[in-house]
Chain A
Amino acid sequence: MRIAPELAWQVVDGEGVVVDLRHRSMMGLSPSASFIWARIDTATEDQIAAELAQAFDVDEARARADVQSFVALLREQGLVVAS
Chain B
Amino acid sequence: MALRPSAALQERALLRAQPLSALLELTYACNWRCVFCYNPRHHDRRRLDGDEWCAVIDDLRALGTLNVTLTGGEPLLHPQAFEVMAAARARAMTFRLFTNGSLVTDDVAHRIAELRPLTVELSLHGARSETHDRATAVPGSWGALWRGVAALRRHAVPIVLKTPLTRLNESELEEMVALTEREGIPYNIDATLTHRDDGDPAPLQYAMTAEGVARYYAALARGNRIPASHRTPGGVNCGLGRTTLAVDPEGNVYPCPQWRKSSLGNVRETRLLELWKTSAVRQEAAAVARAANDELLAAGGLMARFPFCPAVAQERTGDPVHADPIHLAEAEAAERARVAATAGR
Contacts and interface: CB of A to CB of B under 8 A. Distances in A.
B92 interface: yes
By size class, the interface of chain A is 10 to 19
Contacts of B92: 3, 7-10
Given A13-B12, A13-B16, A21-B118, A8 B94 contact: yes
B331 interface: no
A79 to B, nearest CB: 12
Contacts of B318: none
Interface string A3-32: 101111111110101010110111010000
Nearest to A6: B116
A28 B5 CA distance: 9
Contacts, number: 57
Contacts of B67: 8
A19 B66 contact: yes
A10 B243 CA distance: 13
Interface string B265-302: 00000000000000000000000000000000000000
B7 interface: no
Contacts of A26: 3-5
B94 A19 contact: yes
Contacts of A13: 9, 12-13, 15-16, 18
A12 B3 contact: no
B116 A10 contact: no
Contacts of A28: 6, 9
Given A5-B89, A17-B66, A12 B116 contact: no
Contacts of A17: 5-6, 9, 66
A10 B15 CA distance: 16
A8 B12 contact: no
Contact of B9 (A9, A12, A24): A12
Nearest to B4: A26
A24 B13 contact: no
Contacts of A10: 20, 64-66, 92-93
Interface of A: 3, 5-13, 15, 17, 19, 21-22, 24-26, 28
Interface of B: 1, 3-6, 9, 12-13, 15-16, 18, 20, 64-67, 89, 92-94, 116, 118, 158
